[in-house]
Amino acid sequence: MTRILIAEDEFRIVAFLEKGLRAAGYSTVAVASGRDAAALARDDSFDFMILDLGLPDLDGQRVLSTIRDRGERLPVLILTARDGVEDTVRSLEGGADDYMTKPFRFEELLARVRLRLRDENDAETTVLTAGSITLDLRTRRASTDGGTIELTAREFALLETFIRHRGQVLSREQLLSHVWGYDFDPNSNVVDVYVRYLRRKLGDDAIETARGMGYRLAE
C-alpha cells in the first residue's frame, strides 16, 4: 500500500487529509513537528510527503532542504498558507514537486498526489467506470453509452467520488468534505443541489437516496 507522510501542525487539516487519503486507498502517518518530519521522510519508508511550511520547530523549507541534501527522492507537495511568489519559487527550486496554498479543495490535492504517484503502466488511475459511465481522469471527460456528458469541475469531482465508493452510502458531510474541502459549511444544501444536477445529466435513477443517511451511486 502507498504510504504518505503528512507534516502538518493544524489538527483539523490533518484529520481532513487522513480521512480523505485513507478513503482513497492510501496509508498515512502524520507528524506535527518539522524535526520529526525530517527524520521520518525516507524513500524506504514513504512514497509521498505533504509538507506544511509553517511547522513550529523546523520550518518546512529547512525540512525540504534536509531531506534533499540527504538524497531522499520521494515526491513532496508543499501545503501552506503562504501564497507569495517568492515562497513558491523557493520551494520548487529547493526540491518540492508541487505547491498548494490553503484553503484547498481535497479533490484537487488528491489529483495532484495521484499525478505524482502514477505508474505509467497503470491505467486504473486514469480511467474509472461504473456501468455505462466512464470518467477519464487525465482528460477530465465523462461519457455514457458512447456519448459525452458535459460536466462542470464540481460535478465531475462529485461523480468521481460516487464511482470510487460504488455501493457505499455517502453522507452529505462525507461528500462535502471530499468535494468542497475542509472549510465547508455543514449546514449547506449544496450537495443536494449538485446531486440534482447529476441526475438531470445521467438519469433520475443514477444516484439513489438513502433516506436519513445520504446518497449512493445506483448499481
- Look at residue 36 in the predicted model and tell me its pLDDT: 94
The pLDDT confidence band at residue 85, using thresholds 50, 70 and 90, is: low
Name every residue whose Cβ is closer than 8 Å to that of residue 151 and which is 6 or more positions away in sequence. 142, 159, 201
CA separation (Å) from 71 to 31, 41, 180?
21, 11, 36
User: At the topology level of CATH, where does 123-217 sit?
Assistant: Arc Repressor Mutant, subunit A (1.10.10)
- Look at residue 186 in the predicted model and tell me its pLDDT: 67
Mean pLDDT of the chain: 85
State mean pLDDT over 101-112. 87
For the four alpha carbons of 124, 126, 128 and 133, in that order, the dihedral sign comes to negative
| Percent over 70 (pLDDT), the chain | 92
Query: What pLDDT, in 10s, does the model give residues 7-34?
Result: 999 999 999 999 889 888 889 999 999 9
- Look at residue 14 in the predicted model and tell me its pLDDT: 93
Give me 13's grid cell: 487539516
- Look at residue 83 in the predicted model and tell me its pLDDT: 66
Query: What pLDDT, in 10s, does the model give residues 145-180?
Result: 868 888 888 888 899 889 988 888 988 888 887 787
Query: What pLDDT, in 10s, does the model give residues 34-84?
Result: 999 999 999 888 999 999 988 988 988 899 999 999 889 899 999 888 766
Q: Please state which CATH number belongs to domain 3-117.
A: 3.40.50.2300
Domain boundaries, given as residue ranges, for the chain: 3-117, 123-217
